[in-house]
Amino acid sequence: MDKNTDNKRYLVIHADDFGQQYCCNEGIFAAARNGLLSSTCLRANGVALREAIDFLPSHPGLGVGVHICLNEGPVLAPPSQVPLLADGNGNFRYTGIEGFVRLGLMGFQKKMRQQVETEMRAQIEALMEKVALDHLNGHLHVHAIPWIFKICLSLCEEYGIPFIRLPFEPFNWKACKKHFPSFLHMCHYINLMRWQPINMWRLKKTKVHSNTHFLGLLHSSHMTKPIALELLETRQGRKITEILFHPAIPVDEKFFLADYVENFCLSPLRLQELAALTSLELKDHISKQRYTVTNYRELAGIRAGKMCCGL
């Protein structure tokens, strides 16, 4: 897990999908301006990436990572270099959960491993030209597939990205009483938990750091205020907790990366998650739990300071 020796308990309040669609941007804009948001991540192949990047200088306190995508939208590497990933139109051949499953099963192919690395390099380099990246995560947590996680760690070390997300969420029965996850969510959760030990083992052999706990995996897309309050209730033993939201505000958007992306972005739940991020009740609860709200850039600075002091 994380190699941090600090006794404080830190909370990274994060929103995925910055730059994916304009409605995602509007939700993150609002959460950063008026809410608790401390961290986000950029979709290098998103529809609204330029608008997202243009927003960042006005909010220097917002940490920024790379949201690796291997199963939705256009590839960034030349399609001829990643034919196992790209279809004839230059888009990812397999999308959504199907793409996630196929990637999980295809790591034995050397060519697939090479092409995934090529595509991830293209996404990281496209963002590093414009933004300092403080962490890496993946769309649908695709980065946590063990053979992909191994490549991610290597790229983090090469490009100086200090943190990587570990989607490690202890099961919370009380939260499930408020929202019982779908069968698909449960399967996704079980797989990610099953892969956790090998990913942690590989992480410990590198200089890359991670969160120690994660909230918002089993209840992804349903991180309303009641769910967030319940998940944050138990904090014993946590050093760095990341809590994940997907806020969005519907706008007049003509193009979506896929039909399921449109349904997700326009769901009323996106506004409920934004309401949670701007909730005074949630803010007070975080304070009572004695979390220090931060982001991965600040955490990397704390680590660097301790190393300089010999701690």
Q: How would residue 108 be classed by pLDDT, with cut points 50, 70 and 90?
A: very high
Angle at 187 between CA 184 and CA 193, to 5 degrees: 140
Angle at 176 between CA 171 and CA 182, to 5 degrees: 95
Q: How would residue 307 be classed by pLDDT, with cut points 50, 70 and 90?
A: very low
Among residues of the chain, what percentage have pLDDT more than 70?
94
- pLDDT greater than 50 at residue 252: yes
Residue 44, C-beta contacts closer than 8 angstroms, at least 6 positions apart? 19, 66, 67, 69, 76, 122, 123, 124, 126, 127
- pLDDT greater than 50 at residue 308: no
Q: Between these two residues, 238 and 149, which has the higher pLDDT value?
A: 149
Architecture of domain 10-308: Alpha-Beta Barrel (3.20)
The whole-chain average pLDDT of the chain stands at 93
pLDDT tens per residue, range 219-248: 999 999 999 999 998 665 679 999 999 999
Residue 161: closest CA among 125, 136, 129, 130: 136
pLDDT tens per residue, range 188-222: 999 999 999 999 999 999 999 999 999 999 999 99
Burial of 267 from C-beta contacts in 10 A (0-12 / 13-18 / 19+): middle
pLDDT tens per residue, range 17-72: 999 999 999 999 999 999 999 999 999 999 999 999 999 999 999 999 999 999 99
Q: How would residue 6 be classed by pLDDT, with cut points 50, 70 and 90?
A: low
Q: How would residue 179 be classed by pLDDT, with cut points 50, 70 and 90?
A: confident
Write down how long the chain is.
311
pLDDT tens per residue, range 79-93: 999 999 999 999 999
CB atoms inside a 10 Å sphere around CB 297? 21
- pLDDT greater than 70 at residue 3: no
Contact 15, 247 (CB under 8 A): yes
Q: What is the pTM of this model?
A: 0.93
pLDDT tens per residue, range 281-290: 999 999 998 8
pLDDT of residue 1: 43
Residue 245: closest CA among 2, 72, 18: 18
How does DSSP assign 32-66, residue by residue? Answer: HHHS---EEEE-TT-TTHHHHHHHGGG-TTSEEEE
Contact 129, 93 (CB under 8 A): no
- pLDDT greater than 60 at residue 310: no
